[in-house]
């Protein structure tokens, strides 16, 4: 910090001997307290939204960001998405050095223009314009200005005055001009801990000033619970010229069902007959649904097709049936159409996928980034991920589990919660028969079974080639075992019971080390859990264990001729609010010992004061996981 201040002071002195620059664009004017823990500083951010009509919105953006070091490059945020509905009318960027001298300028034509979607996309008009700038010195400042026009007032840009760790904010302002007095709703999140003020009581106008940077803390609560956000929605809105309503989720669901989903379920007579034949003789709705789901998995594949009304309307079922591909909306709609044919009730469902995030049940608006299918099943909900060709029926995994979702029915939207895979549900058992020779080499037959999210973490390896599977075990799962070789593998994916079983025959050369008359051996050979959380002198946010799990290991170890089992460690047990741990090494006979380990980590959120206790708990476990025993030479 002292060097940084000295450098900025030197820059100030140097500036006295240069021609006048705009001081607002120099790094010198940044208050010292805003450089603490900061890789970049937002000197100015201004968003002005003009609601000209229900189907016409213009947005002006200006952002001035000073990047202090290489890690801050990612925060310049000089980029804008656009599509056939969102039209960019003005776009520019300028780069200034530490003294406020302009060193580079980007007009609209000099922005790089690329598709905003990945390689799995067949068609999308969603594109991105951004600047490509490689800095030669730090600090530097980027001034980004943009204006765009859109008919989709269902997507009013939200305000995120601070949206990332390690970035401070000198000034951020957000303003909505609503000359027609359209009815709006707002939702303020996490405002209480920030210097945010309402500028006007007559309009939506907020200002945040001098917001210090926040350091990221591991095992913390989600960033959505920390950073401030302002959400704005219209009661009456437009989505690509389609009028919409949504004062609450019930009304929003009715609109979506009527305007975006209705009429998209038609299928050809041949496909209808095929679906009915698939379930012939079945009376149970879930058994029928399993047959249909298996049919969809075998017939289709996922490819993003971001067309339709703002990318929210699914492709028609008969189109997906004909082409054999679709995105999450199209494949979900296709599966629902087939279930309709065989008399199984199901509903489209909006969800935030991958990142565990809830649909905000208290604020109806266009939310979610993924679609799955809900089968009510008389109150015992079954959920289907329709984009995967391999995932078991009714299993969501960590992609969409344990979060609030919006189920779309003809009667309206309903907030439901997807099932949670918690703690003991995420079970892995590891059994091994291990033979140790006098040179410290081992041969082992290992059987690992995985359930819950531990199943989700592993079942994909069944598609690996032999070489990639060997790399997986040697470089990932058992990387701590030098000289490990895989002799054979057998993988069994029991989709009906959602259990994945691995049978591996392996050898590890020189695993045990010979010291004098002793053969030293780490007893946990195939499942070491040595994670220790980072140490923090001062903890600012609560501890969150986002995913609980349980591991149970049972190894039988045969020792070599010429060695004797002498002293073994006592049984070790720990019980805390965060989970439990037990380990025991037992002598069965003169040539055999057993190792048993059980670890349970509990999902939950705990006060920040508990972080040190949790770290201590994990350190004690890590120590036991590296435990060595000595075999005495006769």
pLDDT tens digits, 507-517: 999 999 999 89
Cβ(353)–Cβ(346) under 8 Å?
no
Cβ(42)–Cβ(172) under 8 Å?
yes
Label residue 525 exposed, middle or buried (CB < 10 Å: 0-12, 13-18, 19+): buried
Which CATH number is 246-417 given? 3.10.620.30
- Signed CA dihedral, 301, 302, 307, 310: sign only: positive
Q: Do domains 246-417 and 423-633 have the same CATH topology?
A: no
Percentages (nearest 5) of helix, strand, coil residues in the chain:
25, 40, 40
Which CATH number is 423-633 given? 2.60.120.1130
- Signed CA dihedral, 436, 442, 445, 447: sign only: positive
Residue 2 has pLDDT above 60, yes or no: no
What pLDDT score does 440 carry? 95
Stretch 607-615: mean pLDDT, rounded?
Answer: 97
Rounded to two decimals, what is the model's pTM? Answer: 0.91
3-state secondary structure at position 21: coil
Chain segment 31-40, per-residue pLDDT in tens: 999 999 999 9
What pLDDT score does 25 carry? 86
The tokens of 95 are what? 């780069």
- Distant-in-sequence, close-in-space partners of 32: CB < 8 Å, separation ≥ 6: 5
Distance from the first to the final alpha carbon of the chain: 62
* Omega before 139 within 30 of 0, i.e. cis: yes
Chain segment 57-112, per-residue pLDDT in tens: 999 999 999 999 999 999 999 999 998 899 999 999 999 999 999 999 999 999 99
Chain segment 265-308, per-residue pLDDT in tens: 999 999 999 999 999 999 999 999 999 999 999 999 998 765 55
- 204-211 and 229-234: which strand pairing? unpaired
The CATH class of 2-234 is mainly beta
622-631 burial: b if 16+ Cβ within 10 Å, else e: eebbebebbb
Residue 17 has pLDDT above 50, yes or no: no
- Distant-in-sequence, close-in-space partners of 598: CB < 8 Å, separation ≥ 6: 550, 551, 552, 553, 580, 581, 582, 583
Phi, psi of 350 (to 5 degrees): -90, 140
Chain segment 200-252, per-residue pLDDT in tens: 988 999 999 999 999 999 999 999 999 999 999 999 999 988 999 999 999 99
The tokens of 499 are what? 């259990």
What pLDDT score does 311 carry? 74
What pLDDT score does 305 carry? 64
| Rounded Cα distance, 97 and 103, in Å | 7
Domain boundaries, the chain: 2-234, 246-417, 423-633
Query: Residue 13: in which H helix or E strand, if any?
Result: helix 2-15
| Rounded Cα distance, 329 and 351, in Å | 11
Kindly report the average pLDDT of the chain as a whole number: 93
- 325-326 and 347-351: which strand pairing? unpaired
């Amino acid at each position: 910090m002292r060097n940084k201040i000295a450098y900025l002071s030197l820059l100030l002195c140097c500036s006295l001997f240069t021609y006048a620059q705009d001081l607002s664009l120099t790094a010198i004017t940044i208050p010292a307290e805003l450089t603490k823990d900061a890789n970049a500083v937002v000197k100015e951010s201004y968003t002005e939204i003009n609601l000209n009509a229900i189907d016409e919105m213009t947005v002006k953006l200006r952002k001035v960001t000073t990047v202090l070091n290489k890690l801050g490059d990612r925060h310049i945020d000089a980029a804008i998405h656009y599509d056939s509905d969102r039209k960019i009318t003005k776009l520019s960027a300028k780069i200034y050095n530490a003294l406020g001298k302009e060193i580079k300028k980007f007009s609209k034509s000099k922005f790089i223009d690329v598709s905003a979607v990945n390689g799995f996309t067949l068609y999308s008009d969603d594109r991105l314009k951004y600047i490509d700038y490689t800095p030669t010195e730090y600090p530097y400042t980027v001034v980004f200005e943009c204006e765009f026009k859109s008919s989709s007032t269902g997507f009013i840009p939200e305000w995120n005055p601070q949206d990332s760790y390690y970035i401070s904010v000198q000034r951020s302002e957000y303003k909505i001009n609503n000359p027609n007095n359209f009815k709006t709703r707002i939702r303020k999140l996490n405002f209480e801990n920030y210097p945010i003020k309402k500028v006007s009581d007559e309009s939506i106008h907020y200002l945040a000033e001098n917001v210090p940077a926040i350091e990221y803390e591991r095992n913390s609560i989600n960033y959505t619970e920390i950073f401030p956000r302002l959400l704005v929605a219209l009661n009456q809105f437009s989505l690509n010229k389609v009028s919409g309503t949504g004062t609450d989720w019930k009304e929003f669901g009715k609109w979506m069902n009527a305007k975006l989903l209705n009429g998209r379920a038609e299928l050809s007579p041949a496909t209808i007959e095929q679906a009915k034949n698939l379930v012939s003789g079945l009376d149970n709705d879930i058994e029928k649904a399993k047959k249909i789901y298996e049919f969809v998995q075998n017939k289709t594949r996922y490819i993003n097709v971001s067309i339709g009304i703002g990318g929210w309307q699914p492709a028609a079922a008969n189109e997906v049936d004909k082409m054999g591909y679709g995105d999450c909306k199209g494949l979900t709609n296709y599966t629902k159409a087939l279930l309709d044919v065989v008399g199984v009730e199901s509903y489209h469902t909006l969800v935030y996928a991958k990142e565990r995030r809830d649909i905000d049940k208290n604020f109806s608006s266009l939310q979610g980034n993924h679609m799955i299918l809900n089968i009510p099943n008389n109150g015992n909900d079954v959920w289907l991920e329709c984009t995967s060709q391999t995932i078991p029926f009714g299993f969501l995994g960590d992609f969409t589990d344990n979060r609030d979702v919006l189920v779309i029915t003809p009667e309206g939207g309903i907030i439901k919660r997807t099932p949670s895979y918690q703690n003991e549900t995420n079970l892995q058992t590891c059994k091994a028969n291990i033979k140790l020779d006098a040179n410290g080499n081992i041969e082992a037959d290992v059987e690992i079974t995985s359930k819950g999210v531990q199943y989700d973490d592993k079942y994909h390896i069944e598609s690996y080639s032999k070489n990639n599977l060997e790399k997986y075990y040697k470089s990932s799962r058992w990387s701590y075992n030098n000289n490990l070789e895989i002799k054979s593998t057998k993988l069994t994916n029991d989709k009906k019971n959602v259990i994945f079983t691995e049978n591996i025959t392996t050898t590890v050369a020189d695993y045990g080390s010979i010291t004098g008359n002793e053969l030293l051996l780490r007893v946990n050979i195939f499942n070491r859990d040595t994670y220790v959380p980072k140490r923090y002198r001062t903890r600012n946010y609560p501890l969150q264990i986002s995913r609980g799990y349980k591991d149970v290991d049972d190894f039988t170890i045969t020792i070599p001729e010429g060695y004797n089992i002498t002293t073994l460690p006592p049984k070790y047990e720990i019980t805390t609010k965060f989970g439990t741990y037990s380990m025991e090494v037992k002598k069965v006979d003169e040539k055999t010992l057993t190792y048993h380990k059980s670890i349970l980590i509990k999902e939950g959120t705990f006060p920040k004061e508990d972080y040190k206790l949790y770290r201590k708990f994990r350190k004690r476990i890590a120590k036991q996981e590296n435990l060595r025993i000595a075999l005495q030479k006769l």
